[in-house]
């Protein structure tokens, strides 16, 4: 029999497992709650705003990491209107440590886009939320899976999803011989085929929970899986061999020279990155890539001259640290510097600013820079603030 013929049974098995073992308690997914505050169960609409925030945070980040950030976000920006009215600086500061900062900027942009659409002729200021896939896809940073998850979670509408957990579950279910990235069309079709049209919200939540709790990347708990009897990867005897992976590629490695520049008043020079790329809009200590054969002191001197139009004396090393992104590995070699001449100019950034060392935690920094701040505060004998521990989360 085909999976299409088994679909009703698969739905029933998954939902029965989820009713008993899924992450259904409000403490586990506080955005999935009814108006009265209890766990969701019926078809009543849920508030789309906290669901949208959670779904964007959950892109590239695990649930347990997201939870405290989501709670702080909802305390600071409890409504679409307050988020739309917020300053980008405050949005990025609240996101600090969660990584992939473009997500925060896109949430902020999306809130303003929804507010503008609601205020336009034909819009609704009391209900600005799209009910169609196209409406969500029009928002920055929202792809088909995130849009489908929001629509099914908030409104119980039958839209399939295909996040990382679901890709893994479905690839194992059929023992796909190709990596999920090369099988997207087929996996989308399978997700749509299996989706329970009567209970899409519950089914999609169950599918994500199955991948997150049982069908994990390593050591899947097949003995407790409701789909064990239908799973081709389990039948193969090597379920952890799926999904098939491409051969790993070696990440490029770069050395970055960084200058912590101080003036005669003891202030530190920082600059704000342009609003583009992974870390757009964040603040950082100035610096740049070391050229082949270039001493790191010369790198820092050159970067300060090229990016800020200043001359500085490069002093002792403050800290050296390594940081890995999804596409490259970096080693930051950080030196204390003394400003000599030149008015700092934002030649390669949005703006530059002299700040007191104890004020650094008031600015959103990437995780690697947060470790630099901690080292600087320790060197100066200052009490470490939030910035000292922000780097413990993924960048």
H and E: helices and strands count for the chain = 15, 7
Q: Rounded distance, CA 136 to CA 114, Å?
A: 10
Confidence of residue 1 (pLDDT cuts 50, 70, 90): low
Average pLDDT over residues 184-209: 97
What tens digit of pLDDT does each residue of 93-104 get? 999 888 888 999
Q: Is 55 a catalytic residue?
A: yes
Provide the mean pLDDT of the chain.
92
Q: Rounded distance, CA 218 to CA 241, Å?
A: 9
Q: Rounded distance, CA 70 to CA 67, Å?
A: 5
Share of the chain above pLDDT 70, in %: 94
- pLDDT number for residue 370: 85
What tens digit of pLDDT does each residue of 103-120 get? 999 999 999 999 999 888
Average pLDDT over residues 361-366: 92
SS (H, E, C) 114-126: HHHHHHCCCCCCC
CB-count exposure of residue 35 (10 Å: 0-12, 13-18, 19+):
exposed
Q: What is the pTM of this model?
A: 0.84
Confidence of residue 250 (pLDDT cuts 50, 70, 90): confident
Q: Which residues contact 241 (CB under 8 A, 6 or more apart)?
A: 233
Helix axes 184-194, 200-213, angle to 10 degrees: 120
Query: Is pLDDT of 186 > 80?
Result: yes
What tens digit of pLDDT does each residue of 71-81 get? 999 999 999 99
What tens digit of pLDDT does each residue of 323-356 get? 988 789 999 999 999 999 999 999 999 999 999 9
Catalytically annotated residue among 44, 55, 134, 291: 55
Residue 8: how many CA atoms within 13 Å on its side-chain side? 2
- pLDDT number for residue 4: 86
- pLDDT number for residue 244: 95
Confidence of residue 226 (pLDDT cuts 50, 70, 90): very high
Length of the chain, in residues: 395
């Amino acid at each position: 029999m085909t999976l299409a013929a088994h679909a009703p049974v698969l739905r029933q098995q998954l939902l029965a497992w989820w009713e008993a073992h899924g992450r259904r308690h409000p403490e586990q997914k506080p955005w999935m709650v009814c108006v009265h505050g209890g766990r969701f169960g019926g078809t009543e609409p849920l508030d789309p705003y906290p669901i949208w925030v959670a779904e964007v945070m959950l892109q590239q980040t695990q649930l347990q990491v997201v939870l405290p950030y989501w709670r702080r976000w909802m305390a600071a920006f409890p409504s679409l209107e307050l988020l739309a009215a917020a300053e980008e600086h405050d949005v990025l500061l609240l996101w600090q440590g969660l990584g992939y900062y473009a997500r925060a900027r896109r949430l902020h942009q999306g809130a303003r886009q929804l507010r503008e659409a609601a205020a336009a002729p034909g819009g609704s200021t009391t209900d600005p939320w799209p009910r169609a896939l196209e409406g969500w896809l029009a928002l920055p940073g929202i792809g088909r899976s995130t849009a489908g998850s929001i629509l099914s979670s908030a409104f119980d509408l039958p839209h399939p999803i295909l996040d990382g957990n679901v890709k893994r579950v479905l690839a194992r279910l059929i023992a796909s011989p190709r990596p999920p990235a090369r099988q997207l069309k087929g996996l989308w079709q399978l997700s749509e085929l299996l989706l329970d049209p009567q209970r899409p919200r519950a089914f999609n939540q169950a599918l994500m929970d199955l991948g997150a709790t049982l069908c994990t990347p390593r050591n899947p708990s097949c003995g407790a899986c409701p789909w064990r009897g239908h799973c081709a990867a389990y039948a193969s005897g090597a379920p952890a061999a799926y999904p098939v992976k491409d051969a790993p590629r070696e990440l490029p490695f770069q050395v970055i020279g960084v200058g912590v520049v101080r003036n005669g008043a003891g202030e530190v020079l920082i600059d704000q990155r342009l609003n583009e790329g992974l870390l757009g809009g964040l603040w950082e200590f100035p610096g740049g890539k070391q050229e082949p054969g270039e001493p790191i002191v010369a790198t820092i001197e050159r970067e300060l001259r090229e990016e800020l139009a200043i001359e500085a004396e490069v002093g002792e090393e403050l800290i050296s640290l390594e940081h890995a992104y999804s596409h490259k590995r970096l080693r930051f070699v950080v030196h204390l510097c003394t400003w000599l001449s030149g008015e700092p100019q934002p030649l390669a950034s949005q703006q530059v600013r002299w700040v007191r060392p104890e004020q650094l935690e008031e600015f959103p920094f990437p995780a690697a820079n947060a470790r630099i701040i901690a080292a600087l505060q320790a060197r100066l004998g200052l009490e470490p603030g939030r910035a000292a521990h922000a780097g413990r989360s993924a960048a």
